[in-house]
Amino acid sequence: MFSIYGNKIRTAYLMAVAAVLWAVTLTVSAAPGDKDFVVSYTHMGSEFETASGMEDKAFLYARQAAADQVVNAFQNYTEWKKYSFSQSQLRPAAMSIGQVRVLERQAVNQAGSPGAYIKIRVTVNPAQIASIGAEPHILQQNVALSAENESLLRQTAVQATAAALERQLRANTLLEEANRLYVAKDYNQALNLYNQVLALESRRVEALVNKGSIYYLKEAYDQAVRELNQAIKINPQYMYAYYYRGLVRYQQGSDDQALADFNKAVALAPDFALAYYYRGNCYYMKGQYDTAINEYSRALELDPQDAYAYLNRANVYRERNQLEQAVPDYTRALEIQPDLAAGRSQRANAYYLTGRYKEAAADYTELIKLDGKDAVAYVGRAQALQAMGRNQQAMSDYNVALALDHGIAGGLTGRGGCYLMAGRYDEAIADLTKALQQDSADHRAYELRGVAYLKKDMLDLALVDLDKAVALHPQNASAYFNLAIALEAKEVAESKKKAETGKTAPDPKDPKTSAFVKDAILRAEIADQNKRMALIIGSYKNFLKYAPPGHPGIERAKERLKVLEKAVLDI
């Protein structure tokens, strides 16, 4: 079964925005590509607001002002245009990225009215846009929180509601920062802030779900399930809680439970592409390939830019040996994400298996460019070069692969094959023997070593290895072909030996030998010869049964069968 890729975590991520009066300057920071947005804001409160509450409001207003500047600065960037943010998504998207630093904060008093002054710097790099742009469902929730905060900030604090208003704004501010840390992959700090949010609002489902997803990423699956179960208990209609719990159960190998959660996610959000994607993974693991393909296809209808859905659908086609259908999906995945190493590796292997060795070698070359220490890619390219008859270049790649990883699968077997083709039989036998010490089920190593022994006229050893190769892989056409040649060589050698040493059994032509003995000797010789001939004939027939069209040994096998079958009739 081939690898199915599923680590495409998405987390609920909420942002808060508001705007009133602000001052902003834009400067370019020292880091390449970074831009700094410096914003100051003064919020004048009421006698019922606390100092921390006024500061939170000032901070939210300043962040909104910075977000507007980010939108203006980045709206023409390719990364920004790629995600086609709607007008309502622009500010939440901008506030989801960048690092915020408070440069200055102080309490103010104007004409007897209390207030808070704050000055912040937001540092953003265009490359960070993908961290939020790739999370469309997060943006949906960001928009909702933005609207909520705008409503809260417009409310006038009065004595009866001031404390509750401040608590809610404080929770939103903490949640905003926690989610920014989540996107920045600072999970420990994010967890700390989510806990602070829940201390203020214990039923805050978004914080529970985000905590669950972080525990998932940390592989703390039991903790993740506890957080997600609590979220579902509070709000049974919260789709993302089922989605993330499905991810946890999928990683735990509980495919049926995971599938139930993804089914619930689809029921709550029929257009949620990732739920279909993971349902496809579950069906694949259950061996229901047709259903898996349908799920991946539905995911791609909803999100045509999902490289992993193409990759996994291709892997299912490959599992079913439908390589001609797999290759276009691998290609589309690579068009969307050119650095997707798994897609290039799988396509290279599919090219190799379909005899497109030049394309396979080209893909492995690209993998080597991505990672010059990828021993697997060197072995793959070596095998493709070997198939094209470029033995010396293949040998060079095998040497590099084995230098990087002396135990790399296929390395010693492949280089042993190169030695065999170069007529360096002792070196071939040495490499292949080491390969079999690493993997005693390597049928190809047995076959190649058997051929090396055959070339050295070590026929008994050759027959042992070739018999083993056939036993390990009963559909290996070339092993049958080489076995037939070895058996014929053994027959010729035995006949020659017999002619040179003379017969040790009684001579049926000797008048002293009785008619009964003569008949028994003759029958035994015929039976023995027929048995040996049957083995040779059977090996050639099996070769023809499994040989792919165009195999260079087919004509020879057919000719030898005619000769051998006629010989049997003449005995």
Beta strands in 235-359 (DSSP E): none
> Residue 47 contacts by C-beta under 8 Å, 6 or more apart in sequence?
114
Domain segments of the chain: what residues? 5-107+115-133
346: left (phi over 0), alpha (psi -120 to 50) or beta: alpha
Residue type, 335: E
The secondary element (H helix, E strand) that includes residue 27 is: strand 23-28
Reduce the DSSP state of residue 115 to 3 states and report it.
strand
Q: Write the secondary structure of 330-378 as one string of H (helix), E (strand) and C (coil).
A: HHHHHHHCCCCHHHHHHHHHHHHHCCCHHHHHHHHHHHHHHCCCCHHHH
Find the angle CA(449)-CA(374)-CA(216) to the nearest 5 degrees.
Answer: 120
pLDDT at 142: 61
pLDDT at 350: 95
pLDDT at 519: 52
pLDDT at 282: 95
Segment-wise mean pLDDT, segments of 10 residues, the chain, 571 residues: 50 27 38 77 77 82 82 73 68 72 87 85 75 59 67 60 76 82 85 94 92 94 97 95 96 94 96 95 95 97 94 96 96 94 95 95 96 95 96 96 94 96 96 95 96 94 94 93 89 78 58 52 57 83 87 87 74 51
**Under a CB-based contact definition with an 8 Å cutoff, are residues 92 and 144 in contact?**
no
| Phi, psi dihedral angles at 38 (to 5 degrees) | -105, 120
- pTM of the entire structure? 0.74
Reduce the DSSP state of residue 269 to 3 states and report it.
coil
Q: Which tokens hold the place of 235?
A: 């709000």
pLDDT at 19: 26
pLDDT at 27: 39
| Phi, psi dihedral angles at 558 (to 5 degrees) | -65, -40
Residue type, 487: L
Q: Which tokens hold the place of 301?
A: 């209808």
